[in-house]
Amino acid sequence: MFNSPRRFRHIWAAASVVVLSVVAGSLTPVGAVPADAASLDDSFYVPPAELPGVPGDIIRSRPSRPGTAKDLADAWQVMYRSTDALGEPNAVTGTVLVPKNANPATVPVVGFAAGTQGPAFRCAPSKMLQGQSFYEQPALNGLLRSGYAVAMTDYEGYSPEPDTSYIVGRSEGHAVLDAVRAALRLPEAGLSDQAPVALRGYSQGGGAVMWAGQQQPGYAPELDLVGVAGGGVPADLVQVALPLEGESGFGLLAYALIGLDNAYPELDLDAYLNERGRTEFAKLEQHACTLELLVDYAGDSLSEYTTSSPVLTPPWLARVGENKLGGSPIAVPVLQYHADNDELVALAQAESLRDDYCAVGTSLTWKTYDTDHITLVHTGSADALAFLADRFAGKPATSTC
């Protein structure tokens, strides 16, 4: 039964998605959006022709139905102005949640960066949240139960014609910081613009919050940032991508190529694709969420989709190099954690990021866990939450550098 490596990878990937569904505590399959959420007016996600204001300014907002968090928080969807990887203005959507029975004027704020949801419009974190299929729901609920307001970005590009810039840190970091700014500027939320702020994310979200931490002093210096907790961090995209070739996580590699191409159009991914590649990559971008990424493309290789690989060509390497973490310090205490047996985001490159941050003076606490990437989505939450609680309480951090 298990004599086919590809069949084994498909079985492993399917099992992983079941784990994500169980962790989310929902009977709704990962990637599904129930009719009540899907029926919301999707024109909300379409940016206006001209973007008003400055980064973090709200373009539009509306009440949100945040799935299983509805009893814990009042919530709003927001579209806000941000900045893409090329430094140009863009519009990003997200969700602001304020815990019930708390004084909004005094609560701390957490910028929450979601892990990989997938490229299709239906996969936007805000849609997953409303559809009760957000696999990081327990982590989000933990923040709300702790009395923290949450600003959760959808990242760039979620609209009826999606063009997400997946794994492009220079865009994602801005989206995280501007989501916090938008939360502080949302009148209905009633949050204080002096609120202490922390950032938290895992996997794609771990990379996003590390980028936000690096960018914050120059990009959003008015935020009172007190700490950053990032797990499963994809710091070096080359070292993350290459081990996924022909393995269970190939769909993530394919999605990363699409994300880079969306962020940097001169990369011209289409020029490298064969006919099957054009068909399948278009299908992936229009329809794939986490389930499809992990199951439908498990065990595939770039050679099946391309006439030549773009991965190690100079233009691609240059843009990937721009999105390598660790070139500058994070000015506040950092928790970086990783799975020893991470099958999707290589441990060695995370260890290199740890060393780079320590070398430039970041106060970093490093933790590893004897588990795999997907299990740590859930099992790392308690330590991340405790780290943030200590930062909000003003306790000194203990660096392991």
Please report whether residue 109 resides in a domain.
yes
Quick one: 49 and 156 in the same domain? yes
Are both 361 and 311 inside the same structural domain? no
Percent of the chain at pLDDT exceeding 90: 85
Whole-number mean pLDDT of the chain? 91
Shared-domain flag, residues 132 and 275: no
268 and 308 in a single domain? The answer is yes
Question: Are 253 and 350 within one domain?
Answer: no
Query: Within this chain, do residues 288 and 220 fall inside the same structural domain, yes or no?
Result: no
Range of 283's domain?
5-14+238-320
Question: Cα(134)–Cα(123) distance, rounded to whole angstroms?
Answer: 9
Q: How confident is the model at residue 24 (pLDDT cuts 50, 70, 90)?
A: very low
For residues 366 and 21, give the distance between their C-alpha atoms in angstroms, rounded to a whole number: 28
pLDDT of residue 140: 96
What's the pLDDT at 40? 67
How many angstroms separate the CA atoms of 145 and 382, rounded? 13
In the listed set 291, 320, 349, which residue is the last one of a domain according to the structure? 320
Within-domain flag for 19: no
Tokens for 15? 């099992």
**126 DSSP β-pair partners:** none
Q: Are 28 and 133 in contact (CB under 8 A)?
A: yes
What's the CATH number where 161 sits? 3.40.50.1820
Q: At residue 13, does pLDDT exceed 70?
A: no
Q: What is the total count of domains within the chain?
A: 2
Same domain, 215 and 312: no
166 and 111 within one domain: yes
Tell me the mean pLDDT in the region 375-400: 97
| CATH number of the domain to which 269 belongs | 1.10.260.130
128-154 tens-digit pLDDT: 999 888 999 999 999 999 999 999 999
With contact defined as beta carbons under 8 Å apart, do 51 and 113 qualify? no
Q: In this predicted structure, what is the pLDDT of residue 338?
A: 98
Cβ(337)–Cβ(368) under 8 Å? yes
Residue 397 domain-assigned? no
> What is d(CA 239, CA 347) in angstroms, rounded to the nearest whole number?
10
Clarify whether residues 274 and 217 are in a common domain.
Answer: no
Residue 189 within a domain = yes
Pair 261, 121 in one domain: no
Shared domain check, 333 and 210: yes
Which of these three, 320, 354, 383, is where a domain ends?
A: 320
Asked whether residue 307 is assigned to any structural domain, the reply reads yes
My answer on whether 214 and 101 are in the same domain is yes
Q: Is the pLDDT of residue 355 over 70?
A: yes
Q: Indicate the DSSP class of residue 346.
A: -
